């Protein structure tokens, strides 16, 4: 197998790379940039980049919504209704042609990652590019930095191979992150069900408390009415017994007021607890909906990454050679998008 480098008339064989304890071959067509002079620093265009890099560029540096808008603008038949995967495949094919479509892709990528291109444009040598890439990885700002490195006139084969490898390895870890999010979603569903049961119990307790309060108020009102009627009947009695009845009535009224105030305070406390539980339930629902959306996004990214990996492996290669031996290798896992 040979690989073609733009700007060079020769064709180079595959380079073996040390992966773990054994030596493997990277099946990856690399294209080195033209040797730009300091007076004419020229960024590489997407159609000048190796076809094997187009899949990772389209999938990493553009969102599916942006890609659909670009293909509609070309225009491309079926761009309104085709699946994300079909649009991705069409864009990968169009990227290698120097025509209106590839120029629109180039323009959209440059516009989206203008800040990263400007930052990487300050590099004066390969070491500066490597340091800028490392810094971008630490910030988890992969898409812009990836596009800026691949199109930079000073990027070398080794640097392009390194950044491609790091972006490539992210796809192997998307599945693990997706499973973690699904597990967390299930935990939140269980917590939500428990909160719903708790809210239902609190509502029943509140209803029972209101019913009990109403019954207590009715009983106290009846008792107060009887006390007032008894006082009226005994108003003609001697002063001693009348004074005693007035004291009894006053004491009874005080007790009734105390009991009513206690019941009112209890009802208010139950209502406050119910409001707090409803707020917690609403928060859990929002978190669950957010995780559900994140799960869908990760699932789409995983499927796209898996399809991209399949494209990287030649059709004639045995399936046993498609695995990557990671023994003894330290892998850096970073997010593919900001935030």
pLDDT at 120 over 90: yes
130: pLDDT confidence band, cut at 50, 70 and 90? very high
Using CA atoms, how far residue 58 sits from 94, 171, 182, 303, in Å, is 11, 14, 27, 14
Most confidently predicted of 61-65, 117-121, 199-203: 117-121
DSSP state of 235: G
Question: For position 291, what pLDDT does the model report?
Answer: 85
State which H helix or E strand residue 71 sits in: helix 64-73
pLDDT at 82 over 70: yes
d(CA 18, CA 24): 6
181-301: which CATH number, 1.10.287, 3.30.460, 1.10.490, 1.10.3470? 1.10.287
15: pLDDT confidence band, cut at 50, 70 and 90? very low
Instruction: Please write the tens of the pLDDT for every residue from 268-309.
Output: 888 888 888 888 888 888 888 888 888 888 888 888 877 777
- The whole-number average pLDDT for the span 219-240 is 67
pLDDT at 206 over 50: yes
Q: Quick check: pTM over 0.75?
A: no
pLDDT at 338 over 80: no
8 A C-beta contact, residue 270 and residue 202 = yes
Share of the chain above pLDDT 90, in %: 27
- The whole-number average pLDDT for the span 108-131 is 94
- The whole-number average pLDDT for the span 155-161 is 92
pLDDT at 109 over 90: yes
314: pLDDT confidence band, cut at 50, 70 and 90? low
């Amino acid at each position: 197998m040979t690989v073609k480098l733009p700007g060079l008339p020769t064709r180079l064989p595959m380079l073996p790379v040390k992966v773990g304890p054994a030596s493997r071959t990277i099946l990856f067509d690399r294209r080195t940039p033209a040797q730009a002079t300091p007076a004419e620093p020229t960024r590489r265009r997407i159609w000048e980049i190796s076809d094997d890099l187009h899949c990772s560029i389209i999938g990493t540096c553009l969102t599916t919504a942006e890609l659909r808008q670009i293909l509609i603008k070309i225009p491309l038949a079926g761009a309104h209704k085709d699946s994300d995967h079909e649009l991705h495949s069409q864009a990968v094919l169009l990227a290698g042609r120097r025509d209106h479509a590839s120029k629109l892709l180039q323009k959209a990528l440059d516009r989206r990652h203008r800040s990263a291109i400007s930052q990487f444009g300050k590099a004066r040598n390969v070491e500066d590019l490597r340091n800028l890439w490392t810094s971008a990885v630490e910030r988890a700002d992969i898409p812009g930095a990836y596009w800026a490195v691949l199109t930079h006139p000073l990027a070398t084969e080794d640097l392009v191979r390194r950044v491609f490898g790091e972006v490539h390895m992210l796809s192997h870890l998307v599945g693990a992150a997706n499973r973690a999010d699904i597990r967390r979603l299930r935990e939140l569903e269980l917590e939500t069900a428990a909160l719903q049961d708790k809210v239902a119990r609190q509502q029943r307790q509140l209803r029972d408390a209101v019913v009990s309060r109403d019954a207590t108020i009715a009983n106290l009102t009846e008792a107060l009415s009887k006390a007032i009627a008894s006082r009226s009947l005994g108003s003609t009695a001697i002063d001693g017994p009348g004074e005693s009845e007035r004291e009894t009535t006053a004491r009874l009224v005080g007790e009734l007021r105390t009991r009513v105030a206690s019941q009112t305070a209890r009802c208010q406390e139950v209502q406050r607890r119910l409001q707090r539980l409803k707020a917690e339930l609403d928060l859990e629902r929002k978190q669950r909906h957010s995780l559900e959306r994140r799960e869908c996004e990760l699932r789409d990214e995983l499927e796209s990454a898996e399809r991209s990996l399949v494209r990287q492996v030649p059709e004639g290669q045995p399936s046993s050679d498609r695995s990557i031996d990671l023994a003894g290798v330290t892998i850096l896992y970073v997010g593919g998008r900001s935030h």
